[in-house]
Chains A and B, each alone.
Chain A
Amino acid sequence: MSTQHHNAPEAEPALRVKALEALLTEKGLIDPQALDILVDTYEKKVGPKNGAKVVARAWVDPAYKKRLLANGTTAIAELGISGMQGEDMVVVENTPAVHNLIVCTLCSCYPWPTLGLPPVWYKSAPYRSRAVSDPRGVLKEFGLEIPANVEIRVWDSSAEIRYMVLPERPKGTENMSEEQLAELITRDSMIGVAKVTLDSSAGSQA
């Protein structure tokens, strides 16, 4: 299609985005430098460490946990965490009797301020369809066996609401500080495809 000789031809979408950005800039609708900062922020700064702070606080502070479950948005904002896709947060608690899982069946809605941008598999058709039709099977593929007597609740983020899972605090962490606890909490545990364990480490996940 392209007739460029010297450089590898730039992909069509790359050119279209470049054109779009140029036109919007010329029209004064976007600021390329602000865009750089925005992209960098979502690419590198906003991430599941925010969610881990929220969970760790809930584990050590029962009053906070109560507020978090009653009104996720305001309780999360108490820790200075807010923003797009976090305007209407609902936090769902895992217990010995209930395991929660979040999904967006129609597209890719996800609580950006607490978890960052969704992983590739979260946006995939197999996950979006099967999380609802066969959650137990999906969790098994993630290496998580949920006993038959534990209820699995699947939360479809397809309205304005964005969900986040409050995972169970693992045994053996009674003497750990809030900061140490936060280190254990993974993104996957807040989506609901994993549990927090003593050897799960947030550092191993982007």
Chain B
Amino acid sequence: MAKSTDPDSFVWPAKLPAKLDDGPPFQTPWQARAFGVAVSMCQAGYYTWDEFRDRLIAEIAQHPGEPAEYYQCWLNALEKLLAEKGFVPGSELNARTQELATPKTAGGASSASS
């Protein structure tokens, strides 16, 4: 996926390019998963879309440097909402992220990340 041009580092020109290449809806697999988690939790009724949208708007307002940061905003909004609702406290998420970042040694099923 990551080649010479890192989609996450793309910066908008001040002027809107007329025929900017759209590309696929998601530029990296994690963006698609973050999208899916937010939609799926809403569809299951754990929160309303408005609740998610309010947090997304707040994140976007703080990070005008889109679109590189768009899905980062999306993820931040999702994390905050899930923490506020008590589904996944921030500390729990941080701990699990840390765990995943640390490669397992001998014997452990080394992360077969797809």
Contact = CB atoms under 8 A, between A and B. Distances in A.
Contacts of B20: 120-121
**Residue from A4, A29, A127 whose CB has the most chain B CB atoms within 10 Å:** A29
B76 to A, nearest CB: 9
Contact of B37 (A3, A9, A21, A120): A21
Nearest to B95: A19
Assign chain A's interface to a size class. 35 or more
Contacts of B56: 107-108
Interface of A: 2-6, 8-24, 27, 29-31, 34-35, 38-39, 42-43, 84-85, 106-109, 116-117, 119-121, 123-127, 130, 138, 141-143, 160, 205-206
29 contacts: A10-B101, A11-B8, A13-B34, A14-B28, A15-B101, A16-B75, A17-B33, A17-B37, A18-B100, A20-B79, A22-B100, A23-B96, A24-B41, A30-B40, A35-B36, A38-B40, A39-B36, A84-B39, A85-B49, A109-B53, A117-B25, A120-B22, A124-B16, A126-B14, A138-B16, A141-B18, A142-B18, A143-B18, A143-B19
